[in-house]
């Protein structure tokens, strides 16, 4: 892609073309570049730093709950995929294959990992001998590849970054407890750190992970009413244990299969936070993971420039010491240009400092989210920034929550759902009889899929939206990325 194409002059309004708005925003805010490899993207520093901030928070949460990190090979022998029937069917169409290496044709093709269940299964069979080795609680931060036909930066790319947890347990109860614990960690992270409200629930059998007994997910709503699956946690039963012969000597001195789980979130969270919060002025970054939480802009004429700049750096040091990610923009461009630039980049708090402010021992603070503009004593700077960031997070979450509630309709029939999708955007809450056929009908006729069976639906529906039979479950349906 040429230099010109990567440069975006104006951001397309969301109402006009949401997809184009998204592409415009991530390009203009300099989060990514398209790469010369089909479906693969480059994470530029401002995009990658969002991921680094997510990593640090999640990694702490994983470690607090007893998990440790490990690293498994990138390549997986072809034969490994054959061992779990559903797994091979699920992933085979998406795999890239290494067939030659070191100048020779390989005897067995190696897949570039789409996920590591099979490799982990092989290793766990070697590592686990007795109940004393359990639970085994391991996480991996890694790149994975799934050869996607239609890609979208951050949300669906052939290579992406993620974490994948893999745990082994003595029994079903302990493994299910882990599965739910990790889902709850994801919910906490996405709601409390990314300010995105989610619907927590169980995937229907047709939408579960290839090889899982049960898959649970958190589902988020983007501003165009589409869903992003923001995290999944799987109870794998003894499926992978049987496929890879992961047995342990139990407390009764008997050999039995371990019960395993896996769970993951990926860089698609970056896409989700952009689409859940952004507006026509650009990004609105969740304060807790924003690469830059505070941008400082010195203003005023050339003659006071050095003085103002010195004071700006002095205050920056203070803000940094308080633990905030703060940058100074001392370039030549006009303050007005810079104000627009950092609004577009979604930096939560802007600090302006000019000669008059210096005289008065004050600064001007502006919040990207609430729009509040306030003169603040320099002595209270850190305190006020803390408050503004907290308020920004809370308001972002409340706004997104309201949006989700307003864009989720209850429907009794498929026609109702179709009419809703034609007129508006969002999710439908509906009864479902539990048959695959009815679920497929919804997909065929609306393009929407079942997102999940929420643990706590707003209301319980009594009849299937397709066949009218008594509902087994209340399901959230929606179009998705």
**DSSP-based three-state secondary structure for 188:** helix
The window from 115-123, 171-179, 307-315, 365-373 that contacts its own copies (CB under 8 A) reads 115-123
**Using an 8 Å Cβ cutoff, are 285 and 195 in contact?**
no
Q: If we measure between CA atoms, which residue out of 400, 387, 477, 368 comes closest to residue 431?
A: 477
Least separation in angstroms between residue 366's CB and its own copies is 25
**DSSP-based three-state secondary structure for 113:** coil
Q: Is 95 in the site for its own copies (CB under 8 A)?
A: yes
Q: Is 251 in the site for its own copies (CB under 8 A)?
A: no
**Using an 8 Å Cβ cutoff, are 417 and 477 in contact?**
yes
Least separation in angstroms between residue 250's CB and its own copies is 17
The Cα 131–Cα 246 span in angstroms is: 12
The Cα 178–Cα 180 span in angstroms is: 5
**DSSP-based three-state secondary structure for 287:** coil
The H or E element that residue 181 is part of is helix 172-192
The window from 102-110, 294-302, 398-406, 434-442 that contacts its own copies (CB under 8 A) reads 102-110
The window from 92-100, 186-194, 205-213, 346-354 that contacts its own copies (CB under 8 A) reads 92-100
Find the helix packing angle between 268-277 and 381-406, rounded to 10°. Answer: 90
Nearer to its own copies, 180 or 322 (CB): 322
Number of Cβ within a 10 Å radius of residue 432: 24
The Cα 397–Cα 273 span in angstroms is: 11
Least separation in angstroms between residue 48's CB and its own copies is 5
Least separation in angstroms between residue 258's CB and its own copies is 15
The Cα 151–Cα 11 span in angstroms is: 21
Least separation in angstroms between residue 25's CB and its own copies is 18
Least separation in angstroms between residue 390's CB and its own copies is 26
Alpha-carbon distances of 423 from 220, 225, 400, 416, 432, rounded to whole Å:
21, 12, 21, 11, 23
Nearer to its own copies, 131 or 420 (CB): 131
Among 23, 50, 54, 76, contact with its own copies (rule: CB under 8 A):
76
Nearer to its own copies, 75 or 339 (CB): 75
Q: How many residues of this chain bind its own copies (CB under 8 A)?
A: 57
Least separation in angstroms between residue 156's CB and its own copies is 13
Q: Is 375 in the site for its own copies (CB under 8 A)?
A: no
Tell which positions 117-156 bind its own copies, by CB under 8 A: 119, 122-123, 126-127, 129, 138, 142-143, 145, 147-149
Nearer to its own copies, 291 or 346 (CB): 291
Q: What is the DSSP string of 374-407?
A: EEEEGGGHHHHHHHHHHHHHHHHHHHHHHHHHHT
**Alpha-carbon torsion angle 453, 456, 459, 460, nearest 10:** 50
Tell which positions 152-171 bind its own copies, by CB under 8 A: 159, 161
Among 78, 94, 133, 170, contact with its own copies (rule: CB under 8 A):
94
The length of the chain is 481
Find the helix packing angle between 18-28 and 268-277, rounded to 10°. Answer: 110
Tell which positions 31-60 bind its own copies, by CB under 8 A: 33, 35-37, 40-45, 48-49, 51-52
Among 12, 96, 214, 305, contact with its own copies (rule: CB under 8 A):
96
The window from 100-108, 211-219, 232-240, 410-418 that contacts its own copies (CB under 8 A) reads 100-108
The window from 73-81, 167-175, 188-196, 204-212 that contacts its own copies (CB under 8 A) reads 73-81
Mark 3-22 with x for binding to its own copies (rule: CB under 8 A) and - for no binding: x--x----------------
Among 20, 75, 78, 469, contact with its own copies (rule: CB under 8 A):
75
Least separation in angstroms between residue 117's CB and its own copies is 14
Least separation in angstroms between residue 43's CB and its own copies is 4
**DSSP-based three-state secondary structure for 332:** coil
The window from 75-83, 182-190, 298-306, 370-378 that contacts its own copies (CB under 8 A) reads 75-83
The sheet that has 449-454: what strands, in order across it?
68-69, 136-145, 159-169, 259-266, 227-237, 214-221, 198-202, 449-454, 473-478, 427-432, 408-410
Nearer to its own copies, 123 or 414 (CB): 123
- Residue written as token pair 């896409």: 271
The answer for residues whose C-beta is within 8 angstroms of residue 50's C-beta and 6 or more apart is: 31, 270, 273, 285, 289, 290, 291
Least separation in angstroms between residue 163's CB and its own copies is 13
Binding site for its own copies (CB under 8 A): 1-3, 6, 33, 35-37, 40-45, 48-49, 51-52, 68-77, 80, 93-103, 110, 112, 119, 122-123, 126-127, 129, 138, 142-143, 145, 147-149, 159, 161
């Amino acid at each position: 892609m040429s230099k010109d194409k990567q440069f975006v002059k104006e951001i397309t309004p969301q109402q006009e073309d949401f997809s184009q708005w998204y592409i415009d925003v991530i390009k203009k805010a300099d989060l990514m570049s398209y790469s010369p490899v089909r479906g693969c993207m480059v994470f530029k520093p401002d995009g990658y730093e969002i991921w680094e901030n997510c990593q640090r928070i999640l990694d702490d949460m994983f470690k607090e709950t007893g998990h440790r990190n490990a690293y498994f090979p990138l390549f997986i022998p072809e034969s490994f995929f054959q061992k779990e029937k559903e797994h091979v069917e699920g992933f085979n169409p998406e795999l890239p294959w290494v067939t030659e290496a070191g100048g020779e044709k390989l005897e067995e093709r190696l897949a570039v990992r789409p996920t590591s269940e099979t490799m982990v299964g092989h290793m766990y069979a070697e590592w686990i001998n007795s109940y004393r080795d359990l639970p085994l609680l391991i996480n991996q931060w890694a790149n994975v590849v799934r050869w996607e036909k239609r890609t979208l930066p951050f949300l669906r790319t052939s290579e992406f970054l993620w974490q994948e947890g893999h745990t082994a347990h003595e029994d079903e109860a302990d493994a299910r407890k882990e599965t739910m614990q990790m889902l709850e960690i994801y919910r906490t992270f996405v709601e409390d750190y990314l300010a995105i409200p989610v619907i927590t629930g169980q995937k229907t059998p047709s939408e579960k992970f290839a090889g899982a007994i049960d898959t649970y997910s958190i589902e988020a709503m983007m501003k165009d009413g589409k869903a992003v699956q923001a995290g999944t946690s799987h109870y794998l039963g003894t499926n992978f244990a049987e496929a890879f012969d992961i047995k342990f000597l139990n407390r009764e001195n008997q050999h039995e299969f371990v019960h395993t789980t896996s769970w993951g979130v990926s860089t698609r969270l970056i896409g989700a936070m952009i689409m859940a919060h952004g507006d026509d002025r650009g990004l609105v970054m969740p304060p807790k993971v924003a690469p830059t939480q505070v941008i400082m802009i010195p203003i005023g004429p050339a003659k006071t420039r050095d003085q103002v700049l010195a004071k700006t750096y002095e205050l920056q040091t203070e803000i940094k010491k308080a633990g905030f990610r703060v940058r100074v923009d001392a370039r030549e461009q006009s303050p007005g240009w810079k104000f627009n630039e950092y609004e577009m980049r979604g930096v939560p708090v802007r600090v302006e400092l000019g000669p008059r402010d210096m005289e008065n021992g004050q600064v001007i603070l502006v919040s990207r989210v609430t729009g509040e503009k306030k003169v603040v004593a320099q002595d209270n700077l850190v305190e006020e920034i803390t408050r503004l960031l907290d308020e920004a997070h809370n308001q972002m979450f409340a706004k997104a929550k309201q949006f989700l509630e307003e864009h989720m309709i209850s429907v009794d029939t498929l026609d109702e759902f179709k009419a809703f999708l034609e007129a508006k955007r969002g999710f439908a809450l509906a009864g479902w009889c539990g048959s695959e056929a009815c679920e497929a009908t919804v997909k065929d006729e609306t393009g929407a899929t079942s997102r999940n069976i929420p643990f706590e639906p707003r209301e319980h529906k009594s009849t299937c939206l397709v066949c009218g039979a008594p509902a087994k479950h209340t399901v959230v349906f929606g179009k998705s990325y």
